[in-house]
Amino acid sequence: MIRLFMTSAALLAAAIASAQTVPGEKAKAALLTLSAYVEDAAPPAFEPVADTYKGGTTYPAAAKVSLESFEVPVGANTIYVTVNLDGETANTVIASVRVFNGDKGRASPDTTKSVFFRPGDPLRQTVSFEVSGMVEGANVKISQTSVPDGGTRINGDQLATARAGAINVALPTGRAPMQFAPIGNLAYEATGATIKFDDKGGLGTWTTALAHGRTQVGNGESGYYGTVAMGGLERRGDVLAIKSGKLTAPVRDGLVQYAHRGQVLTGQRAPEMQFRYGTIEWEAIMPDRKDSWPALWLLPTTGWPPEIDVYEGFGYNGSWRFPSSLSSNLHGGKNNQRTFTRPADRQTMATHGLKPTLTTEFHKFATVVEPNWITMYVDGVETIRYANPFAGVLWYPLMNVAVKASPTSPYADGSGEMLVRSVRIWKAQ
């Protein structure tokens, strides 16, 4: 896939367009100021060297996001806040920037906006906010409201201060999100009415067990992944319900007793579902039950890690909002030892201009795995992109609802079901 990023020439052209909105000598000053940013603002797309990932066990350090204080013209109604990345990034970084009331200056309204740094984007970008009351010396405050998704933050609140003769214009932003386009040939397609499953798996058939069994002690899960006979899978027309719940009698596995039933389907024994490079898309409604942990993900046929999390819902986290919250992640390492992770778990549907209806309407969750990139999509819109550290790994898909609750929990709030309407898999290799 073609890498899309702004060249220095494109940045300078955008700078000229911005400067042309400023009259007279101020336009020349603005252009000089903006052109000074160009060399630093447009890095090459991330290009790993041969041993960057060390067999999928390491990943480049997370980029750091910073803000800076600056001056704006007296009487300004729109200000442009500069957001900085400290170097090229191997994955999408999403910064959350807020402008709020300061000394005499007012945010109109007090709001938070997302700023995207995709691999290859300019390292300095601006985001606009509406303000009022910007008389000489007045200011509004600026902050990062959370740690950036896919990155870290390195400074605190800053000020935008009104000064006579100040220049504040927009810098070029990064590229637009890509639209979903699968790679490879369609190798598997099923609806909730036609998905085949049993307790063993096989050709064209999902299995109800993980590769290592029916429990996940290391995750602190309280759910035992049920067999078909335990009733955690139910067809409803063209929809398959993957159900979690409270067991009428606990199940013992080794030394641990499980009070709840989780449910999983994996393609570990279905060769047509497996690919090194290709695409997978699920269409699903997520549960909203407290302490449920739904996921759509990929694992290697050779054992964990690595792992690609296309979607996870952390119902055991009090800040998680099932209708709107999104999460993606990469886990690297080998021999059952994780050596890195790169989560993006603070984004929401609104971050990407999507409806916050994950628990009430069907949405499409997809990933495209290429030799250089792993790209996530929701409803056809690119959400997160990662440089691919897992060359040649053969992946298989999983869909599940885990449970992470107290053994005494009734686990009865809301719905504990993931409703799957379709799964499609394309293979490029």
Q: Give domain status of residue 174, yes or no.
A: no
Regions of the chain with pLDDT less than 70? 1-44, 50
Q: Which two tokens stand for residue 411?
A: 């686990």
CATH code for position 16: 2.60.40.2030
Q: What residues contact 308, with CB distance under 8 A and at least 6 apart?
A: 297, 298, 329, 330, 367, 369, 374, 390, 395
CA 35, 47, 186, 195 torsion: positive or negative?
negative
121 with 223, same domain: the answer is no
CATH code for position 315: 2.60.120.200
283 with 321, same domain: the answer is yes
142 with 205, same domain: the answer is no
Q: Give domain status of residue 119, yes or no.
A: yes
127 with 266, same domain: the answer is no
Cβ–Cβ under 8 Å, residues 343 and 314: no
321 with 422, same domain: the answer is yes
What residues does 154 pair with on adjacent strands?
none
**Which of 131, 163, 195 represents a domain boundary (last residue)?**
163
Quick one: pLDDT at residue 46?
78
Quick one: pLDDT at residue 48?
77
Residue 185 carries which side chain, given as an amino acid letter?
Answer: N
Q: Which residue has the tokens 């903006």?
A: 34
Say whether pTM exceeds 0.85.
yes
Q: How far is CA 364 from the centre of its chain?
A: 14
277 with 415, same domain: the answer is yes
Q: Which of 84, 73, 31 is nearest to 160 (CA)?
A: 73
| Host H or E run for residue 207 | strand 205-207
Domain containing 339: what range? 185-427
105 with 193, same domain: the answer is no
Q: Which two tokens stand for residue 394?
A: 């053969």
Quick one: pLDDT at residue 43?
52
250 with 158, same domain: the answer is no
Q: Which two tokens stand for residue 149?
A: 């998704």
Q: DSSP letter string over 350-393?
A: GGGT--S-TTTS-EEEEEEE-SSEEEEEETTEEEEEEE---TT-
209 with 73, same domain: the answer is no
Quick one: pLDDT at residue 24?
41
Counting Cβ atoms within 10 Å, is residue 63 exposed (0-12), middle (13-18) or buried (19+)?
A: buried
Q: Give domain status of residue 180, yes or no.
A: no
